[in-house]
Structure 1
Amino acid sequence: MSKAGTVTKLVLQQGVAPAQEAALATLLAELTVAPAPQLAPITSKVLLLGDAALADVRRALRAPLGTHAVQESQSFLNCQDAAIHAGHEVVLHEARTEAAASFRFGLSDAGAQMETRVKFLSATQIREMSPPQFAERMAPPTAAITEVAPLTSDVVARYLALAHDDNPIHTDDVIAKVAGFDGAIVPGMLLCALSEALCRATGGSLQISDVRARFLSAVRVGASVRCIVSPFAGGATQKSRVFVVGVADQIHAIIDVFGAKT
């Protein structure tokens, strides 16, 4: 990819099967102690990255020699009705430099989009990253706090299998430490999906349309996190903000979830 970027049309070979979406919904229900699996989350669209037609994209996500890919952000826009199936055509906008890369997928003619942004950092840069600290003033007094079940290696393995993600920093402590982390780390997209699931549980009749996540620090595999979920507020389109926070009050991610009244 060049700095200016390229545009490519791709025809999916497998897409995202309903069984994959159902398996992700089941995993999220277990982690959030929901009474039953919820609707397929918008964040399940990221599973299309495992499609054989996107092999070049997965290679492009790999960092240049001497650096490591760290996900910076993820967004899903107007994805509530986007169906990702075999034979579906997506339009991929790619841009890459030595320091970062972005991948924006046009998922439908109606404007559904998914975007992934990554940074390429050295192990030293990763070790020197200092996450912001959560403070109570960041969320309203009405925010709900959920202690999420530990994100064990089994939980991570189940998610990685669905996502077709073979990045060893999620499974191998030694490789993760070489990259500058304290050990194997939880995929940021699992935190994003968790946040959407919690918002669905509190959003009532709202139809989730957009999810926008910023990833600020890594979660060690096996760690517990808590999610501070602001209640939905606004007019016809409402927004909830989720802080994913670690045991030392470090912010791992900030996820904004948008819903429309049905």
Structure 2
Amino acid sequence: MIIKTQGVILSQRSYQDNEKYLTILTKDCGLIEARIRVFGQIKRTIFQSICPPGYYKMDLFVNKQMYYTVDTIEKIEDFFTLRYDVEKLALAGYFCELTQALVPAKEHVWVYLRLLLNTLYLLEQEKRSPLFLKAVFELRSLSISGFMPNLVCCRECCEYEQKQMYFLPLEGELICSDCMREHPVQRNDLPILLNKPVLSAMRYIIYKDFDKLFDFSLSPVYLKQLSQVTEYYMLTRLEKEFNSLVMYKQLKTEEP
């Protein structure tokens, strides 16, 4: 059976000189692993150019055991200019690795594909800063994966705003300073005091319609805290290390 689809290559592993396996987030088949080799219409030059985080149109051959083989493939967007900046390339790799960790096998993958493609485009075109995109991608992808924190109000008194609002990463909730004195949090949960602009940004990322997801701004000081909070929340929830994130942080330059 042949399936025509589109997808982003999230990762690859070589098998032989003329054969490799691709992890692809496809529009129609979900997250799959597919074999590709130099054969037929796939010439060596095409084979060598195919790599993450490219977006391709492809024909997939599926056998009875549900193993996928790339029969034909055509570039839609390869985000090639990211390769000129190792920091951006590492961040793009992190977006792909995080997507691979979060996305379900087949259900509702279009929301992940759309988020990933838009983020990669903005990164390549320098429409938004890497730190901004990292924070937005982390929190939004976690939210659509079932890890959406409840940031509507304090979990105890239901106040929308107080002078001091704390974020509880383990529970994914807010608590104000008054209630925290009366209702102690878990011993292993680390309350994070959120500046008002940071809390507003987190609420925006979680609850805003996708079409306006990237349409906000934050000063460098608050953006730095936002990125720290979203990263810590992601690591707390997933309990997993990401090699691409480590590499990005080693390469990252401070943004003005």
TM score, norm. by length of structure 1: 0.26
Structure (1 or 2) with the larger CA radius of gyration: 2
Higher relative contact order (CA 8 A, sep 6+): 1
TM-score by length of 2: 0.26
Q: Which has the larger helix fraction?
A: 2
